[in-house]
Amino acid sequence: MRAMKTVPNKTIIENRKALFDYEVIEEYEAWIILYGPEVKSLRAGQANLKWSYITVHTGRPVLVGLHISEYKSNTGTKLEPKRERNLLLSQKEISRLEQKTKEMWATIVPVEIYTKGNLMKVRIALAKWRRKWEKKNLLKERDLDREIARKFKL
């Protein structure tokens, strides 16, 4: 009997701006449908998640605004860097996301893209927009936590 190797998840891109601008309510894991050169560009870290979001068109989640730079050694067809990419989720998760976005006026944002074995996955979050004063309070709390950690460290 062979022992199965557990491959750790490797984060490729993180959307820190979304974590600051939005308050995360729920998180999901989805597969992303990509072509070969896009996968190579992602593994090289040549992508940007800033200002990207997820919509549901005809029962299918679509990632809009993800910019994946063109792979330099690509000899095949050229792919548009900002094209819409389909995500794979279960029908139960899709219907739940649609229902929650309508009920709570929430947004679906990608939080990070990572590899799980040979698969590219996207961690998506159902989130609500933070107001300006909420962001300021968040920054104050982080500063206080750093200050306390510094005092206890000394």
Q: Assess if residue 4 is contained within a domain.
A: no
Tokens standing for 115? Answer: 């590899």
- Please give the residue range of the domain that contains residue 108: 10-153
Is there a contact between 61 and 30 (Cβ–Cβ < 8 Å)?
Answer: yes
**pLDDT by residue for the chain (154 residues), tens digit each?**
556 566 677 888 898 888 888 889 999 999 999 888 888 888 888 889 888 999 998 889 999 999 988 887 777 777 788 889 999 999 999 999 999 988 888 999 999 999 888 888 999 999 988 888 888 988 899 999 999 999 887 6
Residue 71: count other Cβ atoms within 10 Å of its Cβ. Answer: 21
Count of domains for the chain:
1
CATH number at residue 36: 2.40.280.10
